[in-house]
Structure 1
Amino acid sequence: MSDDESNTTEVPTRREYVKYGGAVIGGGLLAGCSGQADPGATPEPTSTETAAATETETSTSDGSYTVEMFPVGEVEFASVPQSVTTYNMGWADMVVSLGQVDKLQTNRLPAPTLFYDRFDIEYDIDWPPLWQDGGMPKEAFYEHDPDAFLIDPNMLMGWDDNWDESDIVEVETHVAPFFGCHNRRMNSQWQTEMSYAEKAPSMLEAFDKVGTVLDERERTEAWLALHEELQSTVQSRLPSGSDLPSVALINSGSEPEKGTFYAMNLGGKGYEMKPYRDLGLVEADAFAGVETGKWGETDYETMLEVDPDLVLVHWGITTGSVTFDGDGAYDAEQFHEKFVAPMENDDVGSQLTAVQNERVLPGPTAEQGPLVNAFQTELTARLFFPEKFGELDLSAPLDVPEDEQLFDRQRVADIIDGGVES
């Protein structure tokens, strides 16, 4: 089954989900925030995503409508939301991709210098942070006061012990409904207990739902068409499995200077690993079957044991925002200083084939909707298969000669601006 094939499992209503969620969610902060290592065991990978055409909306005579999605069930909207609050920046990218950036309420930056400045996209980040002092205070949700929260309520209860189902009901009653799914990564205990790996929508499925919520079907269909064409182009050029380089994917929380690495699963379920799955790289995972410690922690000796052709730093392309708390611009010098130089200067690290061949490279960011994913699919193809897709310029990794581009930048701009071509 591909990532985007529809699930036949019955989805609970919103009130049923609240009751169920309160019964299964344990306390404690979820691992997996930006830049934190949580590369634990994940389900077996699935095949390349394709758009799933599903009925998602039910309208009523008074103009209200409902849209259904796991885990929130059927959610009713009195009218099209004019403001939305997000936390996961992949969901923010969905809003941006639909040309609705003015509706976005968040204090977080999804690497705008790298991706959004190319289209002169800016948005107001002067909003109270939802994550404060180790938790997500309910007051911040009232301060945002949007028409919809594109946030998974199970995530709130999983990350912050102060939240329970009664708080979810309160915020939905007095502020706005929740319409979200924490589908970036799905290996936390609460997600396992609620069968997220089997039931959660893929990035494209979630985007399709958001497009319905925001009444942007034309833009949604245009993006789905662009994605399908991009995938078709990529698939037609991919080498056979026997030609794959071996890859050690490490989280950007790794500290080569201290000899600490956090191994990640290339085929992990969730949209953060989508570029790797789409490019057929799951079988290239150098860490497959290798014993690692908590959160995938490993060392130079294990790195040398697997001796990959390529060491890829997850989130590396956004070192300016994730690793260094900057504006999101990729900084090749900082990347080299933090990840490459320590390996070159280590007695064991310097023996790695990837180090000797200068193949310690920045990988995609985990947070991505349609716009960011299009760039990152192209980026990842160039990282792994330069002979097929062109050499990557590490000083400007998204600057691709026009004749080597895998998708039309002007077409993206037109979709965002409303000049839709599907």
Structure 2
Amino acid sequence: MDDTTASPTRRDYIKYGGAVVGGGLLAGCADSGPQSSPTDGHPATDSQTDRATTDDGYSVTMSPMGEVTFDAVPEDVFTILTHHAGMALALGRADAINAMHAPEYYQSLWNKFLHRLDGVAVDWTGLYSSWPPSKEKLYELDSDVHLADPAKVDSAEGWSTDDVAEVTANVAPFFGNTFSATHQQPPEAWADGYEYYTLWEIFEKVAQVFQEQARYEALAEVRASMLDRIESGLPPESERPSAALVLFSTSDDQMWGYKLNYPGYYAAHTRPLGATDALAAAVGEGYGDDGRNLTLDFELLLDADPDVLLVLGPMTDYHDIDEIRSTLADHDVASAMTAVEEGRAYTQGTRNQGPIVNLFQTEMAAKQLYPDAFGEWPGYEDGEPYPKIPEDEQLFDRQRVADIVNGAFEQ
């Protein structure tokens, strides 16, 4: 597009509040961190701290954008990564999403969890697969908000801070935070003042964008109640198992390991459980500090010798947990691992999780790691939904969550 820079602002009712003019968009506003930081397990009680309302609309502040001003609630929503898409889903706006990374893949995965919530499902078939994004496509989609981290977009090939500013001015603002996943360093232009948040801190701010604070607070209460129950039931640290979170290649013998307890929303379902990270014990706590995964082989995995092996992928069509178990049991080295000998290799879903998937995956991991405290994990059957768990063994109320997502709840 040769004339995009000169185009008039597409929406007068949704705009950046001074961030572009003041330079905050390009460098990342220094005054963009949360004013009230909730603990990992409990929501902030003052949701007004990062939101201001005036006769001209309302504004929400989050790094790296700074203050973003809206004159109306966004209706058409562009997303890239699924932690943001999952937040729109949790706020009752799954159908508003017009783009996301690998939509069919994540639709299949998400619906396996959502199967256990009455009246909640997603249909993302045919959406624009948005990574890396095309600037021309963003103009074509004509969204009300780009629920994506502008620093992440700037890192894509062919993009620059000028392109981000152009799309912001001519189409709609960006609002998202992605490098909090592992506290990875953002691109240089955004590094000054970039703030890291937990999954639920980002969710709180996204809820403010959609003026859905009540939904956020209700879901945060569900999570806080579950984490209180987990915290009270955890055994002493000396009695906790060691665990490794791994992904096996679908094409060769490669495998990768991920931190269980590091800061960042990728570990939002394992960090509260406090298990010993077997990989960190084997290779040192610093692995993955650069945002990269740990490349494994069976010898290193045996050196780590986890009591529990948490395996990413088998809830998708690309991996089969029974095949993985058979491969491990038949391997000269891997078969000697404690987790393999004791039959404790379990299915996990995804690290790039939104709030609803986070609730399920925290429950899943709690049962896999601590069956004596939280009930046995019933196992995952290939191709089936998240397993049915007896009501008295569930760690959170499915109907309450479904009602919140569907907008049929009382505060």
Please state which band the TM-score falls in when normalised by the shorter chain.
Answer: 0.7 to 0.9
Which residue is equivalent to 2:143? Answer: 146
Offset, 1:350: 1.4
The aligned amino acid for 1:155 is: K
Q: What 5-or-longer segments of structure 2 have no aligned partner?
A: 1-17, 29-37
- Alpha-carbon deviation of 1:13? 3.9
CA distance in 1, matches of 2:126, 2:180: 25
Higher relative contact order (CA 8 A, sep 6+): 1
Do structure 1's residue 100 and structure 2's residue 93 form an aligned pair?
A: yes
User: Per the alignment, do residues 193 and 247 of structure 1 end up closer, same or farther by CA in structure 2, a change over 3 Å counting?
Assistant: farther
| Structure 1 unaligned spans of 5+ | 1-11, 22-45, 325-333
Measured in 2, the distance between the counterparts of 1:254 and 1:85 equals 30
Counterpart of 2:304, as a letter, is V
What pairs with 1:35-114 in structure 2 (closer than 5 Å)? Answer: 48-52=40-44, 53-54=46-47, 55-62=49-56, 64-107=57-100, 108=103, 109-110=106-107, 111-114=109-112
> Match for 2:148: what amino acid?
I
Amino acid in structure 2 at the alignment position of 1:374: L
Paired letter, 2:59:
T
Mapped to 2, the partners of 1:317 and 1:193 lie a distance apart of: 38
Deviation at 1:365, TM superposition (A): 1.4
Contact 2:310/2:348 (8 A) holds in 1: yes
Which AA in structure 2 matches 1:234?
I
The aligned amino acid for 1:353 is T
How many residues matched?
367
Task: Give, in whole Å, the separation in 2 of the partners of 1:286 and 1:354.
Answer: 13
Aligned counterparts of 1:219 and 1:101: Cα–Cα separation in 2: 14
2:244 aligned partner = 248
Structure 1 residues 225 and 146: alpha-carbon distance in aligned structure 2, compared to 1, 3 A threshold = same
**Structure 2 length as normaliser, TM-score?**
0.81
Residues 243 and 278 in structure 2, CA contact (< 8 A), matched pair in contact too: yes
Change beyond 3 A, Cα 1:106–1:170: same
For 2:114 and 2:196, locate their aligned partners in 1 and report how far apart those are by CA, in whole Å.
27
Once the two structures are superposed, the pairs formed by residues 154-165 of structure 1 within 5 Å of their partners are 154-158=151-155, 160-165=156-161
Amino acid at match of 1:19: L
1:382 is aligned to 367
Letter in 2 for 1:360: A
Cα distance in 2 for residues equivalent to 1:376 and 1:196: 33
User: For residue 387 of structure 1, what is the amino acid of its counterpart?
Assistant: D
Per-residue CA deviations over 1:1-33 (Å, capped at 9, x if unaligned) read: xxxxxxxxxxx9455333326xxxxxxxxxxxx
Alignment of 1:196-275 (within 5 A): 199-253=195-249, 258=253, 260-275=254-269
Q: Match for 1:202: what amino acid?
A: T
| Deviation string, structure 1 residues 277-296 (Cα, Å, up to 9, x no partner) | 11122x34343351679741
Instruction: Give the strand-richer structure, 1 or 2.
Output: 2
1-structure distance, mates of 2:250, 2:281: 18
Q: How far, CA to CA, are the matches of 1:306 and 1:127 in structure 2?
A: 41
Match for residue 278 of structure 1 among 272, 287, 292: 272
CA contact (8 A) 2:26 2:189 kept: no
**Structure 2 vs 1, CA of residues 317 and 191 (structure 1 numbering), >3 Å: closer, same or farther?**
farther
Which is further off, 205-214 or 295-304?
295-304
| C-alpha contact 2:278 2:305 (8 A) present in aligned 1 | no
Report the AA paired with residue 307 of structure 1.
Answer: D
* Shift of residue 191, structure 1, vs aligned partner: 6.2
Q: Give the conservation status (yes or no) of the 8 Å contact 1:47–1:277.
A: no
Deviations for 1:39-59, whole angstroms, at most 9, x for unmatched residues?
xxxxxxx97332123412222
Q: CA deviation at 1:85?
A: 1.1
| Conserved 8 A contact 1:88-1:151 | yes
One-letter amino acid of the counterpart of residue 153, structure 1? P
Following superposition, the deviation at residue 184 of structure 1 comes to 5.3
The two structures have a TM-score, normalised by structure 1, of 0.79
Correspondence 1:18 to 2:51: no
Cα displacement string for residues 189-235 of structure 1 (whole angstroms, at most 9, x for unaligned residues): 43699569982221111111111111112211111111111111111
Alignment partner of 1:248: what SS? Answer: strand
CA distance in 1 between partners of 2:160 and 2:149 (Å): 13
Equivalent-residue separation in structure 2 for 1:385 and 1:412 (angstroms): 24
- For 1:406, what is the secondary structure of its paired residue? coil
Aligned partner (choices 352, 355, 374) of residue 337 of structure 2: 352
Counterpart selection for 1:301 from 299, 302, 306: 299
Question: Closer, same or farther in 2 for the Cα pair 1:230/1:352, shift >3 Å?
Answer: same
CA offset at residue 269 of structure 1? 2.3
1:112 deviates by 2.7
Report what 2:378 is aligned to: 393
Query: Does residue 363 in structure 1 map to residue 337 in structure 2?
Result: no
Residues 51 and 208 in structure 2, CA contact (< 8 A), matched pair in contact too = yes
Note if contact 1:185-1:268 (Cα within 8 Å) is conserved in structure 2: no
1:372 lines up with 2:364 in the alignment: no
Relative to 1, partners in 2 of residues 1:91 and 1:48: Cα closer, same or farther, differing over 3 Å? same
Summarize the Cα distance change of 1:352–1:289 in structure 2 as closer, same or farther, 3 Å threshold: closer
In the TM superposition, residue 298 of structure 1 has moved relative to its aligned partner by: 2.4
